[in-house]
Amino acid sequence: MNSLLLTGGRVVDPANKFDAFADVLIQNGKIAAIGKSLSAPANTDVFDATGKIISPGLIDLHVHFREPGQTAKENIATGTAAAARGGFTSVVCMPNTAPAIDNVGTVALIHERAREQGCVNVFVTGAITKNIAGEELAPIGGLKKAGVVAITDDGHCVQNNELMRRACEYAKMFDLPIFDHCQDYALVTDGVMHEGYWSTALGLRGWPAAGEEMIVARNILLAELTGAKIHCQHLSAAGSVALLREAKKRGVSISGEACPHHFTLTDSAVAGSEKFWADDGKELLKTQSSAPEWPSYDTHFKMNPPLRSAKDREAILAGLADGTIEILCSDHAPHCDYEKEVEFDYAPFGITGLEAELALSLMQLVHTKRMSLTDMIAKFTVNPAQLLNLAKGTLSVGADADVTVFDTEAEWVFNREDSVSKSKNNPFFGWKLKGKAVATIVAGKIVWSESNALAAV
């Protein structure tokens, strides 16, 4: 019998409304017992979690691992290693690969690679439309049978409202949530950063917040019309939060997610004048070891949707705090160095995010007292699990032993050389962060640990 006993930690399981100091016994890949001073069978490994938080394994429902076709940027082996280092036991891959995940064969390929090379659970989404072209529906029923957990054209947005309506109807028929990258191409056009003061000052093409809000409104109407479960990805605009809040009050089956870069940074980062917020909520100038010349035009601050104004940032934080936005994720989007080392206009959108998102979320949400630790953990565990109908996100006895152990108070510097992702396009390198995963356990096996904290009894 394979056994692991976690001792001395504070167990926080939002799914069961459990928050107490307790031990967790794992046997044969399942949660066997939770309680104080548990006894364990002989030859049980013991992990001392004193002073740490023991939570259900964290879930990131929005990552790009670039396999197949773009493995110079990332692959399942390196992507899952980054996930494990960040404290994530489950990830959900987006379908905008090359070729796109729009057929049964590609889904099977991802599942096979995940079994062979992945160190955490890898779930797959399928495309809404063939080749993510927005013109013809993908075989949604076949994708469901192949094991996808949602459908999305992430990286693109279906512009044809009639086509999106039919996709919603099929998604409901097959009990699949439909994720949408909310972007109205006619409004966004060729924008590269948030339309506002800084886009004007820097001479860069603006991307209006209305380009996101228009599609969020469209999705609310379609959710009401079809009854489909629509999830709005990586929200960034104040108007989007307001629309979502009002719709949820009416009982519309609409949900949303937010990424740490959107509630930590603002568009002023592109100018090299970015600010961050201390634990007490006070605004401070970010300390940099080598301050960039103004303006910086740093392409590591170029993402889709773009970093927005301070007002938008505060709205995202408020939406997270009041439950309007139920899910946290990274939108982990790796790119090769040479792709980002070009003029701002020509650089691809996106940053890596798996390794720092737990710390950034703790800093912005918990340490600032915007929300409780339990509420934050729920946004990484039970909430995404329920959206995707996954038997994950809980420490219930008999559940899969996916567990994250983390230290809310650990201070560390996020150094480029410490990242295990294949790509290094991250704007938070050099930042002093607070909060860190110390062990990641998948099916009862420690797949990553900051130190050798095991002993046998």
Please give the positions annotated as active site.
331
Q: How far apart are CA 89 and CA 216, in angstroms?
A: 30
- What's the DSSP call for residue 202? H
φ, ψ of residue 447 to 5 degrees: the values are: -95, -15
Task: Find out whether 176 and 140 touch, Cβ atoms under 8 Å.
Answer: yes
Q: How far apart are CA 327 and CA 281, in angstroms?
A: 22
- Helix residue ranges, H only, 10-122: 76-85, 104-117
Distances (CA, A) of 168 to 145, 152, 161, 174, 180: 17, 11, 10, 10, 11
Give the DSSP per-residue string, 227-295.
---EEE-S---HHHHHHHHHHHHTT-SEEEEE-HHHHH--GGGGGT--EEE-TTS-EEEPP-SSPPPSS
| Chain center to CA of 449 | 21
- What's the DSSP call for residue 362? I
Give the HSE-up count for residue 436: Cα atoms under 13 Å, Cβ half-sphere: 15
Cβ neighbourhood burial of 334 (10 Å; 0-12, 13-18, 19+): buried
φ, ψ of residue 115 to 5 degrees: the values are: -65, -40
In single-letter form, the type of residue at position 322 comes to D
User: Which of 126, 281, 279, 298 shows the shortest CA–CA distance to 204?
Assistant: 298
Q: How far apart are CA 88 and CA 353, in angstroms?
A: 12
In single-letter form, the type of residue at position 182 comes to C
Angle between the 310-321 and 238-249 helix axes, to the nearest 10 degrees?
Answer: 30
335, β-bridge pairs: none
Q: Six-digit token pair at 91?
A: 């990830």
Q: How far apart are CA 387 and CA 396, in angstroms?
A: 18
Q: Are strands 230-232 and 445-449 parallel, antiparallel or unpaired?
A: unpaired
Q: How far apart are CA 244 and CA 217, in angstroms?
A: 8
